[in-house]
A = this chain, B = another copy of it.
Amino acid sequence: MTDFAATKALFHLPEGMIYLDGNSLGPLPKATAARVERAVTAEWGEKVITGWNRAGWMAQPTVLGDRIGRLIGAEPGHVVLGDTLSIKVFQALAAAIDLVPDRRVILTDNGNFPSDIYMAEGLIKSLGRGHELRIVNPEDVADHINDDLAVLMLTQVGYSDGRLHDMADLTAKAHAAGAVTVWDLAHSAGALAVDLQGCNADFAVGCTYKYLNAGPGAPAFIYVAPRHIANCQPALSGWLGHAAPFAFDLDYRPGTGIERMRVGTPPVLQMAALDAALDIWDQVDMTALRRASVALTEQFIVGIEATCPMLTLASPRDPAKRGSQVCFAFENGYAAMQACIAQNVVGDFRAPDIMRFGFTPLFIDAGDVDRAIAVISKVMNERLWDDPAFKQVSRVT
């Protein structure tokens, strides 16, 4: 589907709101409420325990995983849903470290999402084998890929600047140095055409509540390249990753393929919401989506720079080096974003000074961008943000 006027009609957006925060939490697809209600009443209510088989709950993590797999260029049968993104980062990094047992350096950048870094710190400490987490500037990553490197762990699109790493190039460099890669697709999946297979990526993880619109707390996903999966010994060895979960053996034997990256019971109600969200994504051509996304971000940058000289572009100017969000730095960014939200243009703020706007062609069009520019311009030029009410920090996301 390349007709994004048609997809826009599939979403519920609050009256009058221009929602430029679909990169943080996607809005509600209109079909979701009925799908979730079916999971609650017709599935759980009527099938009770037999829903695990008869409503397909047990298979959801891999069935839905394949539908996400298409969006990120994964081979069928190599993506599975479950847990949160932080847990999936832990699993992927633990497995990646195991594949390069003689090296100790994990390389990431300071634009990576902090939870990825925290999970790596926790894992390294647990392992107690002297691994070093080397954190460099995003633009310096390539220069730090050398023969010490065990794992290159990056978020493809930076959460606070929208910078887009070149997955193909960095993966090739990492492989040439004898390292493996872990790619976080939190701001990529549903934002641009990811090609895990074409890039020869090793591991990837991501979430489904941002661009994929599966709702607050929707499950994460993990991808393991087919060449690696048989060698992955899950660090989080839960029963649903066991080769025979219902044999209740006392010894862990990992399941075949990506199933071994499952841990515990899948969140069935959240999976139902994801199912409804993917009904839209199943129809989307990712190349067309990326084209529309670039057009929206270009339009926004031009419009804001023409009217708001006090805002400094904090995202790459070259659209080929940018994801589907645009960030501007402003000293009073927190208050300014609150003032925009009060005017029904919703983006978000990221410390210390970043105003972040996400562009999601499925439900944002050029008219919305024009209206957003007009509102932001008014907020900035009339200093509407300079109101004590907007400076009280209470927002948690």
Contacts from A to B (Cβ < 8 Å) = 12, 14, 17, 19, 21, 24-25, 27-28, 32-33, 36-37, 40-41, 43-53, 57-58, 83-87, 90, 94, 110, 113-115, 117-119, 121-123, 125-129, 135, 160, 207, 209, 215-220, 233-240, 242, 245-252, 263-271, 273, 341, 346, 348, 350-351, 394-397
Known interface pairs A86-B238, A236-B90; A215-B49 also in contact (CB < 8 Å): no
Contact (Cβ within 8 A) B250 A135: yes
Contact (Cβ within 8 A) A28 B45: yes
Please measure, in the bound complex, the distance between the C-alpha atom of A341 and the C-alpha atom of B54, giving whole angstroms: 14
| Distance in Å: Cβ of A53 to nearest Cβ of chain B | 5
User: Among B28, B52, B237, B242, which residue has its beta carbon within 8 angstroms of that of A216?
Assistant: B52
Contact (Cβ within 8 A) B40 A121: no
| Distance in Å: Cβ of A265 to nearest Cβ of chain B | 5
Contact (Cβ within 8 A) A250 B117: yes
Contact (Cβ within 8 A) A242 B49: no
Known interface pairs A249-B114, A269-B269, A351-B248; A49-B28 also in contact (CB < 8 Å): no
Residues of B within 8 A of A36 (CB): 36-37, 40, 269
User: Among B25, B37, B219, B350, which residue has its beta carbon within 8 angstroms of that of A37?
Assistant: B37
Identical subunits present: 2
Please measure, in the bound complex, the distance between the C-alpha atom of A114 and the C-alpha atom of B94, giving whole angstroms: 22
Residues of B within 8 A of A25 (CB): 44, 48-49, 51-52
Q: Which of A17, A53, A122, A266 has the most CB of B within 10 A?
A: A122
Residues of B within 8 A of A84 (CB): 83, 238, 263-265
Residues of B within 8 A of A128 (CB): 127-129
Please measure, in the bound complex, the distance between the C-alpha atom of A40 and the C-alpha atom of B31, giving whole angstroms: 11
Other A-B pairs beyond A14-B46, A87-B264, 13, CB < 8 Å: A19-B48, A25-B44, A25-B48, A28-B48, A32-B40, A43-B216, A113-B239, A114-B242, A119-B237, A128-B128, A215-B269, A216-B269, A247-B351
User: Which B residue's beta carbon lies closest to that of A266?
Assistant: B217
Residues of B within 8 A of A126 (CB): 94, 123, 126-127, 235
Residues of B within 8 A of A114 (CB): 239, 242, 248-250
Residues of B within 8 A of A117 (CB): 250, 252
Known interface pairs A48-B19, A114-B249, A237-B122; A271-B217 also in contact (CB < 8 Å): yes
Can you report 25 A-B residue pairs in the complex whose CB atoms are below 8 A from each other? A14-B48, A24-B49, A25-B49, A25-B51, A33-B41, A36-B37, A49-B348, A50-B341, A50-B346, A83-B87, A86-B238, A87-B236, A87-B263, A94-B126, A114-B242, A114-B250, A115-B238, A122-B236, A123-B126, A125-B233, A126-B126, A128-B129, A135-B250, A217-B269, A267-B267
Please measure, in the bound complex, the distance between the C-alpha atom of A111 and the C-alpha atom of B172, giving whole angstroms: 48
